[in-house]
Structure 1
Amino acid sequence: MPSPTCANTPLDTSSSQAPRLEALIFDWAGTLVDFGSFAPTQILVEAFKCFDLNLNLEQARSAMGIGKWDHIKAMLALPEVHAQFMAQHKREPDDSDVDRIYNTFLPMQNERVGEFSAAIPGARETLSWARRQGLKIGSCSGYPRLVLDNLLQHAHRQQVFVDYHVAFDEVPQARPWPAMALENVIRLEIKNVGACVKIDDTPVGIEEGRNAGMWTVGLLLSGNAAGLTELEFLALDEENRQTLRDRAAGSFDHAQPHYLIDTVAQLPAVIEQITERMAQGECPSDSL
């Protein structure tokens, strides 16, 4: 009996071949650049400080992956930060307060994103490998277009190139909604969302991929889940690395990624596994 295929998988009617993988869609900070994903978090802490609100890195990381305006709104709702705001203003924070912090944060981030733009080890090699396999390469980001364009200039200087990129403020609803991932599908002329892989260092980015109907790969040690600098990562012995890996994996539980790896450098081996599963007729929705 032939292997089952997805009901929504377009097949070549002149052939019984299983559908082939078509595209990889990457996040940016913590995935391709910025080991530890510090640009979206450290600068957010500093922006809150401008308003005499104390926000630590752990708190800033708790809502990573969503658009930055929504991220700021989520931070104002944290009990500790909310209490500080109430003590200062004797009222609830509203959207105008989010606007004020965002309008302070945005130029700070745009000015300093280059400080946190170093390519993650293995990113260039993985992108080159993917192109040799004939895969299209898309991307999306929680950065607004202004900041993403700035980041792209730094990435290009390091030979980190993608075929398409979309920012959170270019879609009606960003993560965990699938709009950014699906915008890549449209612009890259992908035939089948089930022939795409979404790679991200945050659970909400994995949800985005799953909601789009894609395979998903979560990154444990290069991004937000671990929050390490590259030097801190390299200094870990295997025992401590495994402890951190296990803790980071727990943060992805509810998002249910199909695969978890340390960094993008390990992606080619996973892509080969996904290719084999697709050859057997498996789809992203079939299993974890």
Structure 2
Amino acid sequence: MRYQLPTRLQAAILDWAGTVVDFGSFAPTRIFVEAFASVGIEVSLEEARGPMGIGKRDHIRTLCNQSAITERFQHRFGRPSNDTDVNEIYKRFMPLQIAKVGEYSTLIPGALNTITELRQAGLKIGSTSGYPKEVMEKLASQAAAAGFSPDCIVASDEVPKGRPSPAQALANVIALGLDDVAACVKVDDTPPGILEGRSAGMWTVALRFSGNFLGLTWNEYSALSSDRLSSERERIDKLFVPSNPHYIIDTIAELPPIITDINERLTRGESPAQH
């Protein structure tokens, strides 16, 4: 047998918060702030956004290891943060996240239309998230009531290693019965999510404005001037450079033309590895 590159995409694997739901990706960040506050440590929303995209326990560990936050632990408890602190904050984070994730389950404008177009083009819809399974079950139920039900969901704690590892994306490939990773496109608003797709050998599309890097609500985003949008595009595009996405667009509403372009590139014999 001889390897042949696929000529069309078979699936889009979508992130959740900041990609399909929760414009501005507020659910995880605000709850990180609350969870740290519950043990007496102040963390700003901006600090909480820093490691976004990785699994939530790893996110908490990364925050605890930052020098400024370690100093706050030293000041309050007379010692640096440690794994016990990570476990305690995660224990407090989980019930808060489960209780409140539904408040941030609103679909991003244009998401449903885009997903309908992708399905009409013959694509299956997979998904991955930095949320653990227990949180995803509640979020998925809320999203389904609003009309979004992907064919596959892989949470961060359902694989041995979460983002930026390719495990969650590859679990979608297996579950969806896909023929080739080059027939998949990973869509995400964070560098770890783009690296997840990259390391899985997929096409990747980064989202500028609906997620963590802009960090605004839909109404705040809609009110931005053209000059501000231009400067934010330039700033955010630079932040995505190290993860090397194949495409960068504003929101998921702009995805269908990208799917068409990738299909044309596959037809010409191009692969995601060539970018």
Q: TM-score range by the shorter chain?
A: over 0.9
Instruction: Give the Cα–Cα distance (whole angstroms) in 1 for the partners of residues 186 and 4 of structure 2.
Output: 20
Match for 2:224: what amino acid? L
Aligned to 1:77: 65
* Contact 1:9-1:194 within 8 A present in 2 as well: no
Offset at residue 179 of structure 1 (A): 0.1
Aligned to 1:239: 227
Aligned to 1:3: none
Aligned to 2:145: 157
Offset at residue 248 of structure 1 (A): 1.2
Instruction: Give the Cα–Cα distance (whole angstroms) in 2 for the partners of residues 55 and 92 of structure 1.
Output: 15
Aligned to 1:14: none
Aligned to 1:277: 265
Match for 2:229: what amino acid? R
- Percent identity of paired positions between Structure 1 and Structure 2: 49
Secondary structure of 1:82's aligned partner: helix
Aligned to 1:125: 113
Instruction: Give the Cα–Cα distance (whole angstroms) in 1 for the partners of residues 62 and 110 of structure 2.
Output: 33
The match for 1:196 among 184, 191, 197 is 184
The match for 1:36 among 18, 21, 24 is 24
The structure carrying a bigger helix percent of its residues is: 2
Aligned to 1:225: 213
Offset at residue 80 of structure 1 (A): 1.3
* Contact 2:71-2:80 within 8 A present in 1 as well: no
Offset at residue 10 of structure 1 (A): 4.0
Secondary structure of 1:152's aligned partner: helix
Gaps of 5+ in 2: none
Aligned to 1:55: 43
Offset at residue 87 of structure 1 (A): 1.6
Instruction: Give the Cα–Cα distance (whole angstroms) in 1 for the partners of residues 80 and 228 of structure 2.
Output: 42
Match for 2:81: what amino acid? P
Alignment of 1:175-194 (within 5 A): 175-194=163-182
Q: Would you say 1:22 and 2:37 are equivalent positions?
A: no
Offset at residue 63 of structure 1 (A): 0.1
Instruction: Give the Cα–Cα distance (whole angstroms) in 2 for the partners of residues 69 and 9 of structure 1.
Output: 40
Instruction: Give the Cα–Cα distance (whole angstroms) in 1 for the partners of residues 239 and 218 of structure 2.
Output: 20
Structure 1 residue ranges (4+ consecutive) displaced by more than 6 angstroms after TM superposition: none
Offset at residue 86 of structure 1 (A): 1.3
Secondary structure of 1:252's aligned partner: helix
Secondary structure of 1:197's aligned partner: strand
User: Cα RMSD over matched residues?
Assistant: 1.3
Offset at residue 194 of structure 1 (A): 0.7
Offset at residue 157 of structure 1 (A): 1.1
Gaps of 5+ in 1: 1-7, 12-17
Aligned to 1:65: 53
Offset at residue 136 of structure 1 (A): 0.7
Instruction: Give the Cα–Cα distance (whole angstroms) in 1 for the partners of residues 9 and 210 of structure 2.
Output: 25
Aligned to 1:262: 250
Match for 1:216: what amino acid? T
Aligned to 1:210: 198
Secondary structure of 1:101's aligned partner: helix
* Contact 2:184-2:203 within 8 A present in 1 as well: yes
- C-alpha change, 1:123 and 1:235, in structure 2 (3 Å) is same
* Contact 1:10-1:192 within 8 A present in 2 as well: no
Offset at residue 201 of structure 1 (A): 0.2
Instruction: Give the Cα–Cα distance (whole angstroms) in 1 for the partners of residues 73 and 210 of structure 2.
Output: 33
Secondary structure of 1:114's aligned partner: helix
